Amino acid sequence: MQATDFIKKWEASELKERSASQSHFNDLCALLGIEDPISADPKGDWFTFERGASKTSGGEGWADVWRKGCFAWEYKGKKKALDKAYDQLLQYSIALENPPLLIVSDMTRIRIHTNWTNTVQQVHEITTPDLLDASKRDFLRACFTDPESLRPSKTRQALTEEAAQKFASLAQRLRSRKHDPETVAHFVNRLVFCMFAEDVELLPNKMFQKMLELSQKDPSEFQPFAKDLFAAMHAGGRVGFEKVEWFNGGLFDDDTALPLEREDLQELLAAAKLDWSEIDPSILGTLFERGLDPDKRSQLGAHYTDRDKIMQIVGPVVVEPLLAEWAEVKTQIEAAMSKAGSAKSRSARTKAENEAERLHAAFLERLRGFRVLDPACGSGNFLYLSLLALKDIEHRTNLEAEALGLPRGFPTIGPECVKGIELNPYAAELARVSVWVGEIQWMRRNGFDAARNPILRPLGTIENRDAALGSGGAKADWPDADVVVGNPPFLGNKRMISALGETYVNDLRKAWKGVPGGVDLVAYWFAKAWEMLQEGRLKRAGLVTTNSIRSGFNREVLKSIVSEGRIFNAWSDEPWTVDGAAVRVSMVCFDAHVGGGIVDGRNVERISSNLAGSVTDLTAASRLLENVEVAFQGIIPIGPFIVSGDTAREWVSSPINPNGHGNSRVVRPFINGRDVARRLEDR
């Protein structure tokens, strides 16, 4: 078919969607030189019309056309709103195997939405007259033959890094004007959320960006403008003629706004023009914390931990057990629906269908009551990914239940399912922002509207306090939860007194008498999680720790766990990022059951306290008397006494001092076990 013939035919067509859509698609295939679905795939395994089960909301299939690994395509009648068709594809994207392209058409327009994970989404629109252009036809042909060529180059991580850099310099300038650092951080978090809110259309008509533009001529106008906006977001209201919805959630608890100068407003306006709807909450908090916390500014530009690493904890602790539980329930639902299908009376069929609905409802109730606690939540990376995991599971179970013939469910799991404890006030508020942003993004990406009244659910479940030591020197208590996940602070026992103070460390060791005094700080999080498991207040835990947990006094806390419970999943030596620096860590998932586990990706009968999967527990080996006093642990510097090799050689070659001694008497090479095992560091 020629482009002119296609355009002439479909410009004149008045047919309705149902009678025209497949004919339109087949003609489009002919125009592009692509075999139509029936010719290319008679069995409908990888290229087919009406992909998926009947929808309980009406209609056949989850998508009008589906091509495996390429796209899902939904039609609407001429001049009908395409957003509704796009929302449907989003809602069924999981069931459609998450195609990289989601395409909607009303037979006068073809709108192509990119759908790759972790890239900034792009939308391309091709009208029927555009098909005269060979480049437009080539673009459309690539949707069938080479969708990877349409992948956006900009990642969500790169976008988030760019946004964080812009706000870091603003925060620094505000602090230099003697504004309180916490007030600055709270104000900047509000600005960040306003930019996100207008890009996801929760603030109407680019309201925030217009406010910045109006303030350029007279910067003194910004503060009263912002105060009016924040007041409206606190309880709902109006700014001028524009209606503003009720946000609150604690982020907009008052109308406080700081004055800005022209340079600040120019930088904010440039930031507002980024696509904030696509920022990545899994790193948002970490990057913005470095800009907002004066103590962490030096880490700007440093590495951060990616989501795949975090999922090595969230997967086995949160996702896999719940999916296993759903698989059992789904089998029971399938049996009930099969019984309903073969029932010989209406009452028998109704009884079986009711049983299937009861099974599904009971699982959803359990899932919606599931709580994840991160007792060292930082800026919310683990909480955000745990929230997404729970929402994905709920959505998946609803789709699979609908495919079995049950009524369609609506997602109700929200931010209340995650709990956190964080000592740093900057990080605690950023954790709340990350969770709120993640919740809204998930709803939009899956074709649902964000919650209303308020838009931001209160997140008092993320507490700003110490997770190790409570008031009066007692053990800190943690709220009840189903699981604990997280990345507790990495602080070696030799540095605890200098970093935390002698009084605090003494109180900590006194409160935790069952924990050896020489352990690293992270060990107290293991001890508390294990205590809650024994008390029945927890089902599973997964924590990231320095890899020194496998040896010395630190290993004692793992010995307690494996003696009465088990480590069911572990990674013994993995790369991680702490405060912008690359380190090696262990990841340890444990519960109060018995049995085997997975260590470093291998199934083993038992994981011992040194995170080895051997049948023989080498940690139970006794000392050999022959080795007594044969070796020494080495020198442990307790001050800034280490210098580079170049500096040392300069000192050694210096003249003899007034006492007649050379520096070589006190300047010696510093060598430890790492130098022997790897290479000399010339110190």
Cα–Cα distance for residue pair 205/302, rounded to 1 Å: 36
Rounded Cα gap, residues 387 and 188, in angstroms: 24
3-state helix, strand, coil in the chain (%, to 5): 50, 15, 40
Distance CA 576, CA 585 (A): 6
- What gap in Å lies between CA 371 and CA 376, rounded to an integer? 15
Domain boundary pick from 115, 150, 185: 150
Domain membership flag for residue 54: yes
Query: What pLDDT was estimated at residue 580?
Result: 56
Query: Per the domain annotation, does 176 fall within a domain?
Result: yes
Q: How far is CA 13 from the centre of its chain?
A: 47
User: Does any domain span residue 619?
Assistant: no
Task: Work out the mean pLDDT of the chain and round it to a whole number.
Answer: 87
Domain count, the chain: 5
pTM: 0.81
User: pLDDT > 70: what percent of the chain?
Assistant: 93
Calpha distance 569→578 (Å, rounded): 22
State the residue range of the domain holding 330. 306-459
Same domain, 271 and 374: no
Task: Using the predicted structure, report yes or no on whether residue 240 has a pLDDT greater than 90.
Answer: no
Q: In this structure, is residue 482 part of a structural domain?
A: no
Decide: helix, strand or coil at residue 523: helix
Task: Assess whether 139 and 178 both reside in one domain.
Answer: no
CATH number at residue 559: 3.40.50.150
Least confident of 163-167, 433-437, 678-682: 678-682
Judgement on whether residues 587 and 607 belong to the same structural domain of the protein: yes
Task: Let me know whether 418 and 521 are in one domain.
Answer: no
Q: How confident is the model at residue 616, as a pLDDT?
A: 57
Model pLDDT, residue 618: 60
Are 504 and 544 contained in the same domain? yes
Higher pLDDT, 670 or 406: 406
Would you say residue 660 has pLDDT above 90?
A: no
Question: 633: which residues sit within 8 A by CB, 6+ positions away?
Answer: none
Please, how many CA atoms are within 13 Å of residue 628, restricted to the half-sphere of its CB?
5
Of 150, 167, 184, which residue is a domain's last?
A: 150
Question: 606 lies in a domain?
Answer: yes
Q: Are residues 595 and 662 in the same domain?
A: no
587 and 643 part of one domain: no
8 and 111 share a domain? yes
The answer to whether residue 553 is domain-embedded is yes
Average pLDDT over residues 452-466: 87
Is 345 a residue whose pLDDT tops 80? yes
Q: Has residue 467 been placed in a domain? A: no
Give which of 462, 451, 376, 445 is closest to 413, Cα–Cα.
451
Question: Average pLDDT of 476-484?
Answer: 96
Render pLDDT for 524-554 as a digit per residue (tens, 0 to 9). Answer: 999 999 999 999 999 999 999 988 888 888 8
pLDDT for residue 362: 97
Cβ atoms within 10 Å of 536's Cβ, excluding its own: 9
- Domain end residue (candidates: 150, 184, 205): 150
My answer on whether 105 and 52 are in the same domain is yes
1 versus 34: which is more confidently predicted? Answer: 34
Instruction: Express each pLDDT in 64-92 by its tens digit.
Output: 999 999 999 999 988 788 998 999 899 88
pLDDT at position 62 is: 83
3-state secondary structure of 105: strand
Compute the average pLDDT of residues 643-649.
88
Whether residues 146 and 160 share a domain: the answer is no
Residue 603: pLDDT above 80?
A: yes
DSSP string, 526-593: HHHHHHHHHTTS-SEEEEEEEGGGGSGGGHHHHHHHHHHSEEEEEEEEEEEEETTEEEEEEEEEEES-
Structure confidence at residue 678 (pLDDT): 66
Nearest-angstrom CA–CA distance, 320 and 300: 35
Shared domain check, 65 and 36: yes
pLDDT at 59 over 70: no
Co-location of 499 and 579 in the same domain = yes
R_g (Cα) of the chain, nearest Å: 30
- Amino acid at residue number 358: R
Structure tokens at 439: 């919740």
- Most confident residue range from 49-63, 277-291, 318-332, 548-562: 318-332
Amino acid found at 29: C
Residue 617's pLDDT band (cuts 50, 70, 90): low
| Residue 648 pLDDT exceeds 80 | yes
Cα distance between residue 633 and residue 630, in whole Å = 10
Residue 86 lies in a domain: yes
- Cβ–Cβ under 8 Å, residues 170 and 62: no
**Quick one: pLDDT at residue 286?**
65
Question: 411 preceded by cis ω (within 30°)?
Answer: no
CATH number at residue 28: 3.90.1570
Alpha-carbon distance 377 to 421, whole Å?
A: 6
